[in-house]
Structure 1
Amino acid sequence: MNRVLKLVHAEYAYERNIYGRGVHVAVLDTGAFAHAAFEGRIISFQDYVYALPQMYDDNGHGTHVTGIIGGHLPQARFQGVAPGCLFHIYKVLNAGGNGKIRSVIMAIDDIVKNNQKNKIKIINISVGMAESTEKTDQNKLLDIVDYAWSKGIVVVAAAGNNGPGENTVTYPGIAKKIITVGSIDDRNAGSRLGLKKGYSGTGPTKECIIKPEILAPGTNIRSCGIQSQNGMAMKSGTSMAAPVVTGMIALLLERYPDLTPTEVKLKLYKAIVEIKGNPNCWGFLYVDRMLNA
């Protein structure tokens, strides 16, 4: 993560005492392990897979994603992008990293219904549904993420790992309103990672919408693991790139807490640095440009 923080110029925020404090972030994933990097900052946990009351992660993916957003473990020289943010964990994927669309839909619906109490500002969805999914379920998923957006919650989704090639962004990443994130360093992936070079999902969508909007580091990311309370792990994918941007938005919302999702997206658009030769995304995002947009 030290490499990632340098690449996105995160120190600009930290030098100004901006760490994402007080920003509530929902993570829809495999759950979260009681890692020392999250101590005292996980506000709630809901299990839509087995309905267990106690927080857990039987895969490790969700813990890794949560760490990228805002973990903080000085003894391991580890810090996520927004180490002051607060977490709400929604387990929608099982031990194999698989799940049902209805679990994701139920979780987002519950977030919106209970948000007067929880005050969640961002939803991170490092989950991708394949094109082969039932069309009705696809549409329901797209509708619910746009609904959450319309209710004042920024939704960030991964572009999926089905690239290269056009129209390979997974659901719900193709949703029009939300912010979709791909990996800028997907060409660095090797077969040992289980990902092919150029794995990041690429647009445009069938409706000719540019997706993903933003590319962020996603390959060989060191974050929290589930082996021990201080354990770390290395993972790659757009699932790792999306929480980098989620953390950046948490920094933005600490500084400008009254921004609507549309205003957030407009600030990101104004701050973006175009990537030459890549017309299928807005570009790359830096913290300093974002905070000053």
Structure 2
Amino acid sequence: MNRVRKIIHTDYAYKTGLSGKNVTVAIMDTGIVPHVDFGNRIRYFGDFCEGKTGLYDDNGHGTHVSGIVAGSGEASRKEYGMPVCHGIAPQADIVMLKVLDAKGNGNTRDVLAGMEWIAKNQQEYQIRLLNISVGMLPSAGEREQQELLSAVDDLWDRGIMVVAAAGNNGPKENSVTIPGISRKIVTIGSSDDGKSEPGKRGLKTGYSSNGPTACCIVKPEILAPGTAIKSCGREKNGYRVKSGTSMAAPVVTGALALAFQKYPYLSPAEMKLRLYERAYPRGEQLGRKCWGMIHVDHLVRG
């Protein structure tokens, strides 16, 4: 995470006191464990797979994603003597909705139930962001596609900025997963999927899904590091390394938590415009069909 924070230019945000404090991020994933890096900032846990009540993550993916967004790095400081491995918004609050099972699989019914819960409880938990590292291919049933797209668009219209992973089906075009093809939400690809590490972790070089969508919409809009990311593991206060656009998306979600701390009055559409205007390097400079890279310094400056 130290490498990631340098790449996306977080120094200015931290020097000015931004940390994601009082910003609540909902995460739909495989669950979360009570890792010391989350402290008492897990405000709610809902299990839409098994209906269990205690915190758990039988896969590890959700805990890893949560650490990228909001891990404090406490364990890395106290238990391992390693460089501080904190997330992008280390004081943001977390609402975890478990919609994926131990194998990382899920069904549309559980995902929609999670989104319905968010809509009903948005005000109580002051949810500003939703991170979705869950996706289905465009070949899925049309009814399921439309239900998911309608649900994320509804949350966006309610004032929740939805951030979705593009998927790991690149480099071919029109390979972005659903709900990442939504016109409204922000879809994230990996900026470093051309490196050699993915092959060692089950992902091919150029794994990050690409647009345009079938409706000729540029997707993903924003890129962030997603390869060989070290974050919280589900084993007791440990850390693990994972790769994929599932890791790139929470990098941007964490950056947006910093931005919403500074600009709490912005709507999702206004913040999305800010992302567009302040992405750097731009897509054409990177040789990629996107807006560009997340640049936190540019995002949070006046």
User: What is the distance in 2 between the residues matched to 1:287 and 1:256?
Assistant: 13
Query: Separation in 1 of the partners of 2:203 and 2:216?
Result: 26
Question: Which residue matches 1:285?
Answer: 294
Comparing 212-221 and 274-283, the one that deviates more: 274-283
Deviation at 1:19, TM superposition (A): 0.3
What SS class does the counterpart of residue 94 from structure 2 fall into? Answer: strand
Gaps in structure 2 of 5+ consecutive residues: 77-83
Contact kept? 2:228, 2:243, Cα under 8 Å: yes
Does the 8 A contact of 2:36 with 2:74 survive in 1? no
Aligned partner of 1:127 in structure 2 is 134
1:71 and 2:71 equivalent?
yes
CA offset digits 1:105-161 (Å, max 9, x no partner): 111111011112111000000111122322100110001000000000000000000
Q: For 1:126-275, what aligned pairs fall within 5 Å after superposition?
A: 126-188=133-195, 189-228=197-236, 230-273=237-280, 274-275=282-283
SS in 2 for 1:62: helix
> Deviation at 1:227?
1.2
Q: Is the 8 A contact 1:157 1:172 kept in 2?
A: yes
Computed over aligned residues only, the root mean square deviation of the Cα atoms, in angstroms, reads 1.0
The alpha-carbon deviation at position 73 of structure 1 amounts to 2.1
Tell me which residue corresponds to 1:110: 117
CA distances 1:54-83 after superposition (whole Å, capped 9, x unpaired)? 111000000000000010124412110000
Instruction: Report the Cα offset of residue 279 of structure 1.
Output: 4.8
2:81 match = none
Structure 2 CA distance, aligned partners of 1:177 and 1:190? 29
Per-residue Cα deviation, 1:210-269 (whole angstroms, up to 9, x for no partner): 0000000000000000111x2000000000000000000000000011110001101111
The residue that corresponds to 2:50 in the other structure is: 50
Q: Which residue of 1 aligns with 2:107?
A: 100
Contact (CA 8 Å) 1:8, 1:285: kept in 2 or not?
yes
> What SS does the aligned partner of 1:155 have?
strand
What's the TM-score, normalizing by structure 2? 0.95
Count of residues in correspondence between the two structures: 292
> After TM superposition, which residue ranges in structure 1, 4 or more long, deviate above 3 angstroms?
none
Moved more, 252-261 or 267-276: 267-276
Unaligned runs of 5+ in 1: none
Q: Does structure 2 conserve the Cα–Cα contact (< 8 Å) formed by 1:102 and 1:137? A: no
Q: CA deviation at 1:191?
A: 2.1
Aligned to 2:21: 21
2:90 to 83, 99, 102: 83
Counterpart amino acid of residue 293 in structure 2: F
8 A contact 2:128–2:159 mirrored in 1: yes
The 8 Å contact of residues 268 and 290 in structure 1, kept in 2 or not, is answered as yes
1:245/1:131 CA distance change after superposition, 3 Å: same
Query: d(CA) in 2 for partners of 1:221 and 1:167?
Result: 26
Give the Cα–Cα distance (whole angstroms) in 1 for the partners of residues 36 and 151 of structure 2.
Answer: 33
